[in-house]
Amino acid sequence: MKHKLIIFLITAVFLSCNNTVTPPAGDVFITEQPEIIPRYDLTLIAAGDNLFHITIINNSLENGIHNFNPIYTEIKSLIENADLSFINQETVMAGQSFGYSGYPLFNTPQSLAHTLVDTGFNIVNIANNHTMDMGRSGLYATLDLLDTFEGITVLGARKSGIGSRLILKNNITLGFLSYTYGLNGIALPADNPNLVSVINRNRMAQEIKNLRPLCDFLIISMHWGEEYLLIEPDSYQKNLAVFLSEQNVDLIIGHHPHVLQRVETLKRPDGGKTLCFYSLGNFVSNQRGKERVLGGIMLATFTKEGKNLSISNSGLIPVICHFEAGFRNTKIIPIYDYKEEQLEKHLLRASDNTMNFDYFYSVLRRLDTKIIMYNPFTTGTKN
């Protein structure tokens, strides 16, 4: 009996340690594999006011052609490598027949549109206070021009139809709407009051309600606020940001003040969050004032994992709008590539020696967002 017990114990141990033993007939062993939830990411960058003064237009003329390509050479690798790239095009591009002009009624050569597309911009917002500077016909000419480029999404104005736009990329659907506070006193045509989207809370609420179920993330472009109000937005902007968060908007891209303003995260009724960049400042301009040459490129990464949606990464890439004596050599340069010797050549430096890196960094530290001091689309980082 003792020998049989020993044999039984040895056999039991052998069976428990041998993973290749065939289970008894009739028994079924099912191993559940963990569900693999795919993750999708989409990176959006956004630039602020692309404001073309007559000095930029005049200095771009080369052999009878306005060449704007050199302005964007230094930031092209940022723009073209993002999944989607947004710009607020502050001036219409109505064509030579309207006459090229700067402030107060802007009209920029149509070659700029080719440069923007070549640089990598594929979302062009044109809802701003200068949209009607050349009247209905000038805006129509601009819309017709942008319509000739494949893959370009235009926000804020249209000849007819609704104002919302949907973009599907990387299995993520982004919904866009765009509004401006006004049109510098120029009235919209009586027979086409929907030509440009002007801020109206009732209309905005309805358009957001219609768009919200159709997209994973809803983004609003807002041309708003008091000009040159650095860092802190005005009460009008803050109240509108709360209103948009109450409509469960995911991201607000703000522009018009021509200077940088802080970033804020607001709570939403659905438990989510609204990320608000109140102002990205100037992108391209020849405005005077050290606070107006410092702008920012917004970066936001949208992440989708099953039903979980989030903005997993966001921040600001600071840029300097550089121009020299006679407003020549205008170009956009990321601050991490901007050199002291370039700063010394800046036109505004001659009359304001307080325009220095210490000033730029003092502004950036107050924006309440991550400041990105390298190109996120290339390997390696810069400190």
For the chain, 383 residues long, the average pLDDT of each consecutive 10-residue run is 39 42 54 82 98 98 95 98 98 98 98 98 98 98 98 98 98 98 97 98 98 98 98 98 98 98 98 98 98 98 96 96 98 98 97 97 98 87 45
Ordered by start, the domain boundaries in the chain are 45-364
Predicted confidence at residue 5, as pLDDT, reads: 38
Predicted confidence at residue 12, as pLDDT, reads: 42
> What does pTM read for this prediction?
0.90
Distance CA 178, CA 199 (A): 9
Predicted confidence at residue 56, as pLDDT, reads: 98
Both structure tokens of 233: 């937005």
Predicted confidence at residue 6, as pLDDT, reads: 38
User: Would you state the torsion angle of the CA atoms of residues 153, 112, 283, 320, taken in this order, to the nearest 10 degrees?
Assistant: 140
Distance CA 244, CA 207 (A): 12
Distance CA 107, CA 138 (A): 8
- 329 contacts 286 by C-beta, under 8 angstroms: no
Amino acid at residue number 232: E
Closest among 178, 256, 255 to 220, alpha carbons compared: 178
Predicted confidence at residue 378, as pLDDT, reads: 86
Predicted confidence at residue 382, as pLDDT, reads: 46
Predicted confidence at residue 36, as pLDDT, reads: 86
Distance CA 126, CA 205 (A): 21
Predicted confidence at residue 29, as pLDDT, reads: 56
Strand segments (E) across the chain: 39-50, 61-62, 65-66, 84-89, 123-125, 153-155, 165-169, 172-180, 217-223, 251-255, 260-267, 273-280, 282-284, 294-305, 308-324, 328-334
Both structure tokens of 162: 């609704």
User: Running DSSP on this structure, what letter comes out for residue 354?
Assistant: T
Alpha-carbon distances of 130 from 20, 91, 149, 183, 292, rounded to whole Å: 77, 6, 22, 6, 18
**What Rg, from alpha-carbon coordinates, does the chain have?**
27
3.40.50, 3.60.21, 2.60.40, 3.40.630: which CATH number matches 45-364?
3.60.21
Predicted confidence at residue 366, as pLDDT, reads: 98
User: Would you state the torsion angle of the CA atoms of residues 176, 181, 187, 189, taken in this order, to the nearest 10 degrees?
Assistant: 10
